């Protein structure tokens, strides 16, 4: 049986810069690509945001941040028209400011 040490035996022959580049390359593979949103989905999201603001309903917002998608559950506090951002207050009373172009999906929460 061959006892192969895997990457350990190769790292001594590699420069530290190469090892760093390989680690960065592997990290980039975990990044999500930003998806395009069609007009019908934009219209549905606009209706949900308007209704949530008017009636104080809780929403689940999926947005693109730091090459990954994140989910925030909370109430929409207000819409900042100048900066094009939604101000959302989650259940821990933290305020999140999300740029409208970063939003990928909006749904009503089941709370």
- DSSP string covering the chain, please? -----TTHHHHTTS-HHHHHHHHHHHHHTTPPPPPP--HHHHHHHHHHHHHHHHHT-EEEEEEEETTEEEEEEEEEEEEETTTTEEEEEETTS-EEEEEGGGEEEEEE---
pTM: 0.72
Domains annotated on the chain, with CATH: 39-108 (2.30.30.100)
pLDDT-flagged residues of the chain (< 50):
none
């Amino acid at each position: 049986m061959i006892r192969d040490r895997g990457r350990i035996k190769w790292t001594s022959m590699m420069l530290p810069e190469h090892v760093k580049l390989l680690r960065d390359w592997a990290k980039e593979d975990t990044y999500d690509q930003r998806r395009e949103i069609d007009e019908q989905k934009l219209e549905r999201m606009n209706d949900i945001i308007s209704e949530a603001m008017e009636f104080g309903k809780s929403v689940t917002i999926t947005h693109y941040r730091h090459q990954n998608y994140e989910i925030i559950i909370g109430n929409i506090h207000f819409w900042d028209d100048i900066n094009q951002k939604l101000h959302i207050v989650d259940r821990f009373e933290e305020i999140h400011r999300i740029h409208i172009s970063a939003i990928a999906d909006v749904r009503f929460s089941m709370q």
